[in-house]
Amino acid sequence: MLQDIKDISSKINLSFASYLKSFSDILQIMKESIKIFYHDLKNSFKDLLPIIIVVAFFQTFIIHSMPENLASIVIGLTIVAVGLALFIRGLELGIFPIGEGLAIDFARKGSIFWLLTFAFTIGFATTVAEPALIAIAQKSSVISHGLVDAFWLRMTVALSVGFAISLGTLRILLGHPIQYYIISGYILVVIVTFFAPKEIIGLAYDSGGVTTSTVTVPLVAALGIGLASSIKGRNPAIDGFGLIAFASLTPMIFVQIYGIVVYSFGDVSTALPISEVAIATKSVASTYSFSLVDTFLELVGVIKDVSPILVVIFFFQYIIIKKSVPHLPKIITGIIMVIFGLYAFIIGLEMGLFPIGESIAFELTAMNNNGLIYLFGFLIGFSTTMAEPALLAIAIKAQEISEGMIKQNVLRIVVALGVAIGIGLGSYRLVSGDQIHYYIIAGYSLVIIFTSFAPKYIVPIAYDSGGVTTSTVTVPLVAALGLGLAENIDGRNPLIDGFGLIAFASLFPMLTVMGYGIYAQYKIEQIKNKTEKRA
């Protein structure tokens, strides 16, 4: 009896000790998680600092007034920072692992058909529900008086992105250098431009910049890197990147062909004349007003945007590959963090950045001071790009895959500089009334020249950089600036001139990133030559 009591006591002590250890482990995990989240939050505020400085400068010294909803702006920007921190942590926990895992499983399965089908499906499903594309399609439908159909424009772009991701995946499998595909694509864009109606050219160029969403970019990047890592003879840094570049290129070709068909066989007489187009697109800067229903619907909207991606992923994982997801609780936690992070990010933008950014854009276009317009375009391009979640995701992967040779902060600054130059130059083009395709053709010609001199490891990352710069933060502000300029400058047609700034924001980062690579290679060779001379 005494022995039994001792045994029970011993078991209780062991259970209690085990419970204390489990509780201690949980506390340790929570402590580590809070520490990581605090670090991410601090970085998020640092990323938002350029936007805050730019907005504060223009509001104080140019507009000479303080915004009425200052408290809402401050709260909104704080929510943006929290959302960005959650989003990045969710990517690390959920999206990156499942994307790379799927790529490795497909490579082991050895079925090219199912891999390409998955690539097409993920490209189509994520693009057709992309909010930025929906907004651009609806705007173009209104401006063209229904001649450009919003639904068919979205279908055209979604099909082009599905085709692009499939083609990019096939390139990785075959091991072909990416520049042959991209340069051929740019030449094709230029050729089609000469046959496309002028009303569709700016819209087509912009379509390439709004296809890569905040969630799509990390998943597609993980797919490419995972695939390149699992195939013998492939280099993840050289072969893994580039899928996003394909997704930004093909819509420009497809939409211009769609425009040729529409304007050749549609009733062009239904389109509004230039004077009426300006009236139809006149708008004022929006102001945010809190509504519990709208806030809930925003969450539903984010879930709806993310759900096609999740449906495609889990369908192929369980039905085609027939394998359970490893570390499923961790993956699900990451996905939930991505959803709530993106939700908070969007709510914060609507409260804090969009109203004040649009307000400044409209104020500047009404002031008729071209220098201030170019300066605002340059600075807002730089600052918003530094806060782009999609760019941050790519920069993290680039640093990881290049084993630190490419620094994520340096890459983001170089890309942001490219966007700034692009939007500044695009604003000048809009004000001067020059034809957009002359600038774009010259820009692509420079891309081809830079590709010949840039080190191989930087080229695919440079191509991808053009696709990740125009996402959640940048697109609404840039679109507002472009349409605002086209509405307020005499002789400008919003359908022809209002679109195109996003194309500039996608083009110039490719040049600055390859320029950075060429310069870095030059410095490395200089140091190498000096070392050899000393030896």
Query: What is the predicted pLDDT for the residue at 258?
Result: 93
- Residue 57 has a CB neighbour count (10 Å cut-off) of 14
Burial class (CB in 10 A: 0-12, 13-18, 19+), 535: exposed
CA distance 253 to 204: 7
C-alpha distances in angstroms, 307 versus 29, 97, 98, 503? 29, 18, 15, 28
Can you give the residue ranges of every domain in the chain?
A: 54-528
Question: Which contiguous run of DSSP H or E holds residue 353?
Answer: none
Separation of alpha carbons 138 and 113, rounded Å: 35
> Can you give the pLDDT at residue 167?
94
CA distance 50 to 470: 17
Residue 285, pLDDT score: 44
pLDDT per residue rounded down to tens, the chain (535 residues): 555 555 555 555 555 555 555 556 556 655 776 777 788 788 888 878 888 888 888 888 888 877 777 778 788 888 888 888 888 888 888 888 888 888 888 888 777 888 899 999 988 887 876 666 776 777 777 767 778 888 898 899 999 999 999 999 999 999 899 989 988 998 898 899 889 888 788 888 878 777 766 767 888 888 888 888 888 888 887 888 888 889 888 999 999 999 999 888 766 555 544 444 443 444 444 455 556 777 777 788 788 878 888 888 889 988 888 888 888 888 888 888 888 888 887 788 777 777 777 677 778 777 878 888 899 889 988 988 888 888 888 888 888 887 777 888 899 999 999 999 999 999 899 888 888 888 988 998 899 899 989 998 899 999 998 888 766 667 767 776 777 777 777 777 766 777 788 889 889 999 999 999 998 888 888 888 887 777 6
Query: Is 378:501 a contact under the CB 8 Å cutoff?
Result: no
Cα angle at 97 between 128 and 325, to 5 degrees? 90
> Which pLDDT belongs to residue 279?
39
Return the DSSP state at 406. S
List the one residue out of 464, 350, 360 whose CA is nearest residue 412: 464
